[in-house]
Structure 1
Amino acid sequence: MGSLGNSSRWFVDWLSEHGQRVWQILPLNPTGFNHSPYQCYSAFAGNPNLIDLNELVSTGYLESDDVITAPHFSTHRVDFTEAIGFREPLLRKAFIRFRETGGFGLPEYMQFWDEHAWWLDSYSLFYACHKNLKGKNWGYWEDALADRKEGALHFYYRRFREDVEYQRFLQFVFFQQWFALKHYANKKGIEILGDIPLYVSYDSADVWANQDLFMLDEKRKPVKVGGVPPDYFSETGQRWGNPLFKWDRLKERGFDWWLARIHFNLKMFDRVRIDHFRGLESFWAIPYGEKTAVKGEWLPAMGDELFRILRDQLGNLPIVAEDLGTITEEVHALRKKYGFPGMKVLQFAFDNGSDNEYMPHNYETDFVVYTGTHDNNTTRGWWKSLTADERRKVIPYMPNPKEEKHWQLIRLALSSVAETAIIPFQDVLGLSEQARMNTPGTVDGNWNWRFSRRELHRSHGEKLLKLTRLYAR
């Protein structure tokens, strides 16, 4: 899999050399069993699978022989089991060397721990317990630990101390490498657009450490869970299963958890996208026992109060609102009140005639336009999936029959009035449906696409640079 080291710096160089100014990424948090970046063990911790092993050689915590023995991994799909199986012993070895050479006493480590203890201590203990208690989610731990009784916390800290310290070490290394990469990207004129999922996983350090902020019953189980109701795309809606926020309790606490989350992410990234932004105005609440999202109710959120406090603290907020799907006037008003650009996706543009809000001629400037997102097919895959009648609706927007369809959609995005245009890299490479990142509603086969430099030809960069300059992007 990729890492935060030389491979990422090479990609930054490529973006800079070809006229690009924004790199949008998926959430960087530690993923669970299906490796979805939207179901993570923490809203704050970094994913140690992204730590660059060669940089651990440079810092003296690994030997060069450790990393040159890496097996041959697929250049198209990540085999997470194989990759983690290779990496984990080396990360452990680096941790032992770090500890033996006095790493815990380093000023930079002590400063990191001091600045991040408010989330790092809970996360490190959570993950150590999760690993050593047979992977059970925290709701099935013994009551004293699940309820975070002080005696139980001390007992399990002592019992799993080495694993707790190991997790702190991994986070220290991750954030050292991340901020070095971000600094490098910014020097090259590249902004990084991060991603904040609205909800957090039930099986996370955030819910375990802040149970009063979520709709849980006396047995610590969710009362209602998140999702979206039935719509044009799904007769049964989408039941995501995430626990829902108790906004009245958040308000009593001064929105401290959400304020910390936004502040934290705006240090990590230059801009952030909030996924499912509409859930900050009102959200679909599904009774926990329901198997689908058909039965539910809209409940009010307090995004307006949250953003008012954030604006008072930070001024203008560099936030992109993911406002796709069926959006109410109240959600539009919330987005516009705080000056957040929304999103447009070209693959959604060619139904319902010229009034379709995703048609480029209907855009206003306060949007970010995409050919497709991580939840869409690649543009080549999308084109292949269209019927002849559907293609006839698209072709009038593609005046150059000799230009490949994915480049014509890229041209439409770059030539629009939207303030920012984001092109999935699969579309730059002209890849088909096999390179799709995620298919919503499915579990297997997602989040594992990767590419090798050998797939990237000079013509890809030249074409992208030409169109970027043509439309003054």
Structure 2
Amino acid sequence: MKNITDYTRCSGVLAHVTSLPSPFGIGDLGPDAYDFLRFLADARQSIWQILPLGPTHNALSNSPYMTASAFGGNPLLISPQLLFEDGLLTKAEISEYPDLAPYRVDFDTVIPLKGRLLKQAFSRFNPEKFSEYEGFITQTQWLMDYCMFMALKNKYPDKAWYEWDTTLAQRDSKAMAQMAETEQEQIAYFRFEQFLFHQQWSRLHAYAKDLNIQLFGDIPIYVSLDSADVWGAQEIFLLDRKTCQPTHVAGVPPDYFSKTGQKWGNPLYRWNNEDKHIRKQLLHWWTLRFKAIFEQVDIARIDHFRGFQEYWAVPAHHKTALKGEWLPGPGAEFFREIFAELGKLQIVAEDLGEITEDVLELRDELHFPGMRVLQFAFDGNIDNTFLPFNYETPNTFVYTGTHDNDTTVGWYMSDRIDDEIRQRTKRLANRKIHDHHGIHHDLIYLAMSSTAVAAIFPLQDILGFGSDCRMNTPGTHSKDNWTWRCSKEFLTPDISTWMQELTELCGRSKPHEKKKSTKTLKSEITKS
């Protein structure tokens, strides 16, 4: 694959799939996702960035960063409309789906409604009519562990895997074989879910390629404790062998987002174990993980890239992340071994927060682009590395904000910054200091006109939305986290034209294929 530095200037939009319009209460992989891709193409955007795609509905929260699997797809993203087109649902079944709020995902309502439709589709599923099915189940190495894990989650509702019967928690071969026999129907159902996700995502990815739009995914460095990943590969995680509970967990020390740091609670990898078998297993697991993500996307961001150089280890019994310690990560050799197996991958390093020189050296040694966020740029320090005129290399992805930031309008109007910062922001954007309208336009222009190879904007910033449309507030369990949706009415030709003109002005436009007819599109997204 090409290194990102070989690419011309480009820009794109950050919007998770769940945030898209759809008639089913949550964004999915159906017609509205294709409409969104055409919206991006009309706006001359080259990248659609999304959040992790893993299954969230059996995790502790609806966060895409705390999933039941780092490999699997979220069944909530499966499109009922496409299941109807494939003959797995009836018109009546999807027509009976209730009208839900277009601006928020009500997960408590959507989860059982979507689940009911998927079970109806499963009752009609004939694998022989889907030519890709056999290859998918035989070639997908993580699939059986995931399906067995999910079947056991149904068998032991409201229990984490380390609370199951000991023989199953510790994967005794006899118990596992018996379970695979008695839970055949459940395992087949979860296999069916993953096949549907794979099929619908592959179609969408192919359409994005037709429009010359790259899909930009996300690789959280850590996985959820209560996941198929940890249950299926316990030897590579830092767990107490008797309780299967982590002795130390992941997090970060105090930073911009939290005065006491963030205790994430994810189990840590056994990077520093001297056992060659453990090291081999770690490399194998991560190679499979990179392979899986790059089958879904063209570019991937490694969330918390610092953890590969050094990671913050917090004793599991501590209430906060204050009393942790930095321990060495696997470093550049780890990536070289993966690239030797998979080839060069298009990876972006999330290098935000408190970053040391050795982390930057690792990023640069691997030729990974880093990230710059404009909301962090205006503190009055002329040497602030987030200011566009301080970018040392174009090998950078610049953002107005990320999914963890407030929207640009919300940030600008909040009490987290003062009038001095507001004035400095306007002056650096060469705009009138007392004109508080269009601050999102100002920061988008600053990013677009910078030297960064890619400029990425949350959809909320393109639309000029306020704090009520924020995607996530880190370190909180707000019921509003991860729920924002964009109604179709906001994705207007005027917005698309404005983005197109600015993108072309700043030399970030790439040619896109002409918009395909509705008839052609329908045939593409409904063929099995």
Normalising TM by the smaller chain, what interval? over 0.9
The counterpart of 1:458, out of the listed 493, 506, 510, is 493
Q: Which residue of 2 aligns with 1:395?
A: 426
SS where residue 225 of structure 2 aligns? coil
Note if 1:240 corresponds to 2:240: no
The counterpart of 2:336, out of the listed 301, 308, 311, is 308
8 A Cα contact 2:221 2:305, kept in partner? yes
SS where residue 215 of structure 2 aligns? strand
Q: Which residue of 2 aligns with 1:20?
A: 45
Specify the code of the residue in structure 2 equivalent to 1:455: F
TM-fit CA distance, 1:106: 5.1
Q: Which residue of 1 aligns with 2:453?
A: 419
Which is worse superposed, 245-254 or 356-365? Answer: 245-254
Note if 1:472 corresponds to 2:500: no
- 1:285-434 to structure 2, matched below 5 A, reads 285-363=313-391, 364-385=393-414, 386-401=417-432, 404-434=438-468
The counterpart of 1:34, out of the listed 61, 65, 72, is 61
TM-fit CA distance, 1:135: 2.4
Q: How far apart, in 1, do the equivalents of 2:34 and 2:403 lie?
A: 22
Specify the code of the residue in structure 1 equivalent to 2:316: Y
Q: Which residue of 1 aligns with 2:33?
A: 8
Specify the code of the residue in structure 1 equivalent to 2:88: Y
Q: CA RMSD in A?
A: 1.4
Q: How far apart, in 2, do the equivalents of 1:227 and 1:4 lie?
A: 32
Note if 1:179 corresponds to 2:202: yes
Q: How far apart, in 1, do the equivalents of 2:345 and 2:181 lie?
A: 42
Specify the code of the residue in structure 2 equivalent to 1:391: R
Q: Which residue of 2 aligns with 1:112?
A: 136
TM-fit CA distance, 1:104: 6.2
Specify the code of the residue in structure 1 equivalent to 2:389: H
Q: How far apart, in 1, do the equivalents of 2:396 and 2:154 lie?
A: 42
TM-fit CA distance, 1:105: 8.0
Q: How far apart, in 2, do the equivalents of 1:160 and 1:352 lie?
A: 61
* CA deviation string 1:220-276 (max 9, x = no partner): 110100001123543311100000000135423361001111111112110100000
* CA deviation string 1:438-468 (max 9, x = no partner): 0001112100100111122332112111110
TM-fit CA distance, 1:147: 0.4
Q: How far apart, in 1, do the equivalents of 2:381 and 2:466 lie?
A: 27
Note if 1:84 corresponds to 2:121: no
* CA deviation string 1:293-329 (max 9, x = no partner): 1111111111312111123234432000000011111
Which is worse superposed, 244-253 or 187-196? Answer: 244-253
SS where residue 301 of structure 2 aligns? strand
SS where residue 369 of structure 1 aligns? strand
Q: Which runs of 5+ in 2 are unaligned?
A: 1-25, 509-528
Q: How far apart, in 2, do the equivalents of 1:120 and 1:53 lie?
A: 23
* CA deviation string 1:11-61 (max 9, x = no partner): 000100110000000000001232100000001000000000111111111
Which is worse superposed, 436-445 or 156-165? Answer: 156-165
* CA deviation string 1:374-431 (max 9, x = no partner): 0000000011013222212212112133661100100001000011000100011110
Q: How far apart, in 2, do the equivalents of 1:381 and 1:104 lie?
A: 52
* CA deviation string 1:182-203 (max 9, x = no partner): 0000101100000000000000
Q: How far apart, in 2, do the equivalents of 1:87 and 1:296 lie?
A: 41
Q: How far apart, in 2, do the equivalents of 1:461 and 1:121 lie?
A: 43
- 1:161-240 to structure 2, matched below 5 A, reads 161-218=184-241, 219-231=243-255, 233-240=257-264
TM-aligned CA distance change 1:303 to 1:81, over 3 Å: same
SS where residue 124 of structure 2 aligns? helix
SS where residue 354 of structure 1 aligns? coil
TM-aligned CA distance change 1:233 to 1:36, over 3 Å: closer
TM-fit CA distance, 1:157: 2.3
Q: What's the TM-score once normalised by structure 1's chain length? A: 0.97
Specify the code of the residue in structure 1 equivalent to 2:113: F
Q: Which runs of 5+ in 1 are unaligned?
A: none
Specify the code of the residue in structure 2 equivalent to 1:404: G
Q: How far apart, in 1, do the equivalents of 2:78 and 2:201 lie?
A: 9
Q: Which residue of 2 aligns with 1:126?
A: 149
Q: How far apart, in 1, do the equivalents of 2:120 and 2:284 lie?
A: 37
Note if 1:273 corresponds to 2:301: yes
Q: What's the TM-score once normalised by structure 2's chain length? A: 0.87
SS where residue 262 of structure 1 aligns? helix
8 A Cα contact 2:55 2:68, kept in partner? yes
8 A Cα contact 2:221 2:304, kept in partner? yes
Q: How far apart, in 1, do the equivalents of 2:223 and 2:454 lie?
A: 28
